Copies of this chain bind each other. A is one copy, B any other.
Amino acid sequence: MLEKVKEKLRKVLKEVSMNKSDLVVLGFLRRKSMYGYEIIQWLKTHHMDEWADVKMPSVYKAMQRLEKKEYISGEKVTEGNNPPRTVFSITEKGKEFLLEMLEYFMVKSENPHDFWIGICFLNQGFTKGKFLQILTDRKQKMKEHLKCHKQHFEQMKSTEKWKLMPFYIKTLMKMGTKMNAIEIESLDELKKEAENKENEIFFIKED
């Protein structure tokens, strides 16, 4: 029994420690080893500071934290007469943690943005079967969400409360519904692409 509680606690603690900046740093380093400023550069190129709301200082902190935990390792390199610079690589331990993070962001997280942040770093994180399952589950969840949203909407419209509701809240609600629909559309596109033979390179081979 105590073991079960401990297990649960370990899980909770692990999930609390799942943060976007760690995911971004590990995700980029999984593709190739990089200098610290290169990671920042990639982040900016992909506008992740904007849409994923990942801030530079938190990325630097993540690099320090991940190095301490031995998820990444830094190596000083000297090129020509330049002062030595540190190039970071992901360790085996780091790769394992990245997969756990991916699973957390794309499956378990309650925050709907997390799925799309996770997907940036999908690269060979899952088998095709597992990925298709994740998409199916997520679409189901989104559809329920959308249905619930629409029902709430229709119900509100028929009450006195609706007339009193500020126009900007109404617009916000409508926008939410439209965004939801686009997410579902994108999930369908992902499914179609994942089933394309050419895209098999992005998945772990099934046993």
Contact = CB atoms under 8 A, between A and B. Distances in A.
A128 to B, nearest CB: 12
List the number of copies, as a whole number: 2
A169 B119 CA distance: 8
Interface string A164-205: 001111111011101100110110011001101001001000
Given A113-B53, A167-B202, A202-B166, A174 B186 contact: yes
A166 B203 CA distance: 11
A207 interface: no
Contacts of A169: 120
Interface in A106-134: 110-113, 116, 119-120, 122-123
Contacts of A3: none
A51 B179 CA distance: 11
Given A53-B111, A112-B50, A172-B119, A194 B167 contact: yes
B51 A112 contact: yes
A139 to B, nearest CB: 14
Nearest to A163: B198
Contacts of A175: 116, 182-183, 186
A49 to B, nearest CB: 8
B174 A50 contact: no
The 6 closest A-B pairs by CB, nearest first: A167-B193, A175-B186, A178-B182, A171-B189, A119-B168, A167-B199
27 contacts: A49-B110, A50-B111, A51-B112, A53-B113, A116-B172, A116-B175, A119-B168, A119-B172, A120-B169, A120-B172, A122-B166, A123-B166, A166-B202, A167-B194, A167-B196, A167-B199, A168-B193, A170-B193, A171-B186, A171-B189, A171-B193, A172-B186, A175-B182, A175-B186, A178-B182, A178-B185, A178-B186
Interface of A: 49-51, 53, 110-113, 116, 119-120, 122-123, 166-172, 174-176, 178-179, 182-183, 185-186, 189-190, 193-194, 196, 199, 202
